[in-house]
């Protein structure tokens, strides 16, 4: 994880102890950073996806009992459901933090990891036998009222002073306190004067037409069938950096430990059904470009960064391969063989902040996304499973 996430968690716990619900206060009483990490890795359903929060709980005997539910919005409240309680599952506020945690393990591969591999062992040997597999979560905009939507999407209905936005929001409102904790992490508001807050929709709309700085920071999205939004580009890129920089530094560290150079297989995070505007792929590549250039002195053991299945228009707009050495774009599969056997494969797969590694894999939906495909071709379903690999949750590395 990024070292800023550790600070965020400590501030989050403090806010919840003072402004949380009765059930939240009880859960967080005496909880420290390490306890919280264990909690957000273990208190998950097996499967969680879609705008209706399709769910398969951990303790089910019938794999057919997957269901859509609004219960996740009530976890931690006085009205939470009997099946999904704060003692056994995360609140949505926690899921937003859990999405910033990456999981990284050495693994064996049984095939090249293509989307439809379905755990079939490849007998002809055309794949890497070993490597590092890393699960990271992108920004999820499937729900306009939850997750990154509340931090990055400004709407006339939701992004108001009454909901905790703006410098004049009521400081006694729990929503204000929680949003300002996130605003401090992303340095939003007036950082020079230690005043952190997310702007209201009205504030941004008033400034957008005349203020050039606002035009660079916010993207105005006006679909024909839905209310318009302002997309906070600056916060989105900072959100990505909190996941991507630890990935780069961890890959470099693992390669150095093996006296090798790392070959990074990079996939889009949140650029599928979670995506809300097509420009996100461009902003993601810009984030990689900035991180690779600004931290090149720390990334001496990275040989190649391979961006797999990124849109051609995003590639041409960013021109990252002209600014950073050894950047390639491809349509390779995660564990395809490397030409240089002295390289260490470090492959990324798109995970979810509220599911076990593999996600739909646990329901037998093996071709649903890159998440189950990753579980099918490797051993992450066990090695990244906190109930099987109990040592896994004890290894926490904050990178900076």
pLDDT in tens, 247-263: 999 999 999 999 999 99
| CA distances for 238 relative to 110, 187, 290, angstroms | 35, 9, 11
Res 63 pLDDT > 60: no
**pLDDT value, residue 62:** 56
Kindly report, residue by residue over 357-391, the tens digit of the pLDDT: 999 999 999 999 999 999 999 999 999 999 999 98
80-87 own/partner pairs: CB under 8 Å, 24+ apart: 80/23, 83/57, 84/55, 84/57, 86/23, 86/24, 86/27, 87/27
Give yes or no for residue 159 having a pLDDT over 90.
yes
Which residues fall within 8 angstroms of residue 252, CB to CB, at 6 or more apart? 262, 298, 299, 300, 301, 302
Alpha-carbon torsion, ordered 68, 73, 76, 82, to 10 deg? -30
Grade residue 288 by pLDDT with cuts at 50, 70 and 90.
very high
CA 355 to chain centre: 12
Question: What is the distance of C-alpha 249 from the center of its chain?
Answer: 17
Would you say 239 and 148 are in contact if contact means Cβ atoms under 8 Å apart?
yes
Q: 72 CB contacts (<8 Å, ≥6 apart)? A: 53, 55, 84, 89, 92, 95, 354
Give pTM, 2 decimals: 0.96
Average pLDDT over residues 317-346: 93
Collapse the DSSP code of 271 into the 3-class scheme (helix H, G, I; strand E, B; otherwise coil) and give the result.
Answer: coil
Residue 61 has pLDDT above 80, yes or no: no
* pLDDT, tens digit, 9 for 90 and up, residues 79-88: 999 999 999 9
Closest-CA residue to 398 (of 80, 1, 85): 1
Q: Is the pLDDT of residue 64 over 70?
A: no
pLDDT at 224: 77
Query: Can you give the pLDDT at residue 325?
Result: 81
How confident is the model at residue 68, as a pLDDT?
A: 80
- Determine contact, residues 182/12, Cβ cutoff 8 Å: no
Q: Is 31 exposed, middle or buried (0-12, 13-18, 19+ CB in 10 A)?
A: middle
CA 381 to chain centre: 18
Tokens, residue 324: 């950073």
Give φ, ψ of 269 to 5 degrees.
Answer: -110, 115
Question: Model confidence over 121-133: pLDDT tens digits?
Answer: 998 889 999 999 9
CA–CA gap between residue 173 and residue 159 (Å, rounded): 14
Q: What's the pLDDT band for 67 if we cut at 50, 70, 90? A: confident
């Amino acid at each position: 994880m990024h070292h800023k996430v550790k600070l965020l968690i400590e501030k989050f716990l403090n806010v919840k102890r003072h402004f949380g619900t009765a059930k939240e206060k009880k859960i967080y009483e005496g909880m420290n950073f390490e306890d919280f990490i264990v909690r957000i890795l273990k208190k998950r359903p097996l499967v969680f996806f879609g705008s209706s929060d399709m769910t398969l709980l951990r303790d089910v005997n019938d794999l057919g009992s997957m269901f859509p539910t609004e219960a996740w919005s009530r976890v931690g409240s006085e009205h939470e459901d009997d099946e999904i309680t704060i003692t056994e599952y995360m609140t949505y506020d926690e899921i937003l933090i859990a999405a910033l945690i990456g999981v990284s393990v050495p693994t064996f591969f049984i095939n090249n990891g293509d989307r439809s591999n379905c755990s079939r062992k490849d007998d002809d040997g055309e794949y890497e036998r070993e490597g590092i597999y890393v699960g990271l979560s992108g920004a999820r905009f499937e729900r306009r009222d939850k997750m990154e939507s509340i931090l990055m999407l400004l709407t006339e209905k939701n992004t108001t002073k009454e909901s905790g936005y703006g410098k004049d929001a009521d400081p006694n409102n729990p929503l204000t306190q929680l949003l300002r904790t996130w605003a401090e992490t992303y340095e939003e508001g007036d950082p020079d004067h230690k005043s952190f807050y997310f702007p209201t929709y009205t504030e941004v709309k008033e400034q957008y037409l005349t203020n050039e700085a606002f035009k660079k920071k916010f993207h105005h999205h006006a679909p024909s069938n839905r209310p318009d939004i302002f997309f906070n580009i600056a916060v989105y890129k900072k959100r990505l950096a909190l996941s991507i920089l630890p990935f780069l530094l961890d890959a470099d560290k693992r390669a150095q430990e093996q006296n090798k150079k790392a070959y990074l297989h990079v996939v889009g995070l949140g650029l599928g059904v979670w995506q809300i505007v097509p420009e996100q792929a461009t902003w993601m590549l810009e984030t990689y470009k900035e991180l690779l250039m600004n931290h090149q002195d720390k990334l001496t053991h990275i040989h190649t960064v391979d961006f797999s299945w990124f849109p051609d228009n995003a590639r041409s707009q960013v021109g990252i391969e002209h600014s950073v050495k050894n950047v390639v774009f491809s349509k390779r599969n995660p564990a395809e063989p490397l030409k240089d056997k002295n390289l260490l494969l470090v492959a990324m797969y798109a995970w979810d902040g509220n599911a076990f590694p593999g996600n739909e894999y646990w329901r037998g939906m093996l071709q649903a996304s890159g998440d189950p495909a990753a579980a099918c071709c490797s051993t992450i379903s066990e090695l990244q499973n906190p109930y099987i690999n109990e040592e896994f949750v004890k290894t926490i590395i904050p990178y900076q």
